[in-house]
Homo-oligomer: A and B are copies of this chain.
Amino acid sequence: MKQLYGSAIIVSGPSGVGKSTLCGKALQALPEIKFSISCTTRNPRGSEQNGVEYFFLSHQEFEKRIANDEFVEHAEVFGNYYGTLKSQLLDPVKNGYDVFLDIDIQGAMQIREACKKDQLLANVCEFIFIVPPSLQILEARLRGRATDSEEQLALRIGKAKHELSFANLYDYIIVNDNLELAAEEMLSLISSFKLSTKRRQWEE
């Protein structure tokens, strides 16, 4: 048997679904997992450090790397670039490590597209979407935690609905109802990814 690659685990979910809590809980059981760090051109805030929260790049550097096709996904938000270097996903998996990427839907869908043109990327990426038990429960959660006006809340709910419509384009869906159970499901998935013939092969 030969383990050829680790997995690149790409996780999205709508605002209010509890993605960070769920991922945090699951990943503390996996100390070996790597985290993909994004690049941005915005300035560091507070105690943010280069190579920890983000790689902080100049506009010029970021655009050079776009031109070199180094990003597996990127976007411009309020005049700043954000993006994930292909190497952030491929370097760990080539060394047998799993790498975790918490990313918005637009970014995940760009990576999906990139997989069509890059066989290695296609072999290592697995897409997981976190959903709430129901839209009503998500709405209640957003309502409960937010200090938003009704108008802002309606916008958030509309956005969440739109985001949820992408769930079925991912490979797997985890329902975040019971946190313990959802974390176990994520661990089962990550463990099952290792067993796929996309990443391990029998050799005599």
Asked if A85 is at the interface of the complex by the 8 Å CB criterion, the answer is no
Tell me the dominant secondary structure on chain A's binding face: mixed
Asked if A57 is at the interface of the complex by the 8 Å CB criterion, the answer is no
Could you tell me the distance between the alpha carbons of A128 and B186 in the complex, rounded to whole angstroms?
20
Of A25-33, A90-98, A145-153, A163-171, the one contacting chain B is A163-171
Q: What is the minimal beta-carbon distance from A163 to any residue of chain B, in angstroms?
A: 10
Say how many copies of this protein the assembly contains.
2
Is B174 a contact partner of A195 (Cβ separation < 8 A)? yes
Q: What is the minimal beta-carbon distance from A119 to any residue of chain B, in angstroms?
A: 15
Q: What is the minimal beta-carbon distance from A166 to any residue of chain B, in angstroms?
A: 9
Could you tell me the distance between the alpha carbons of A189 and B197 in the complex, rounded to whole angstroms?
13
Interface size on A, residues (CB 8 A): 29
Please give, as numbers and ranges, the residues of chain B lying within 8 Å of A173 by CB-CB distance. 1, 195, 197, 200-202
Known: A131-B202, A204-B135, A204-B161. A195 touches B172 (CB 8 A): yes
Is B197 a contact partner of A168 (Cβ separation < 8 A)? yes
In A162-202, the 8 Å CB interface with B consists of 164-165, 167-175, 185, 188-189, 191-192, 195-197, 200-202
Please give, as numbers and ranges, the residues of chain B lying within 8 Å of A170 by CB-CB distance. 197
Known: A188-B188, A189-B192. A168 touches B1 (CB 8 A): no
Q: What is the minimal beta-carbon distance from A126 to any residue of chain B, in angstroms?
A: 10
Known: A1-B133, A167-B197. 13 other contacts (CB 8 A): A1-B131, A131-B202, A135-B204, A161-B204, A165-B202, A167-B202, A168-B197, A171-B196, A172-B196, A173-B197, A188-B188, A189-B192, A189-B195
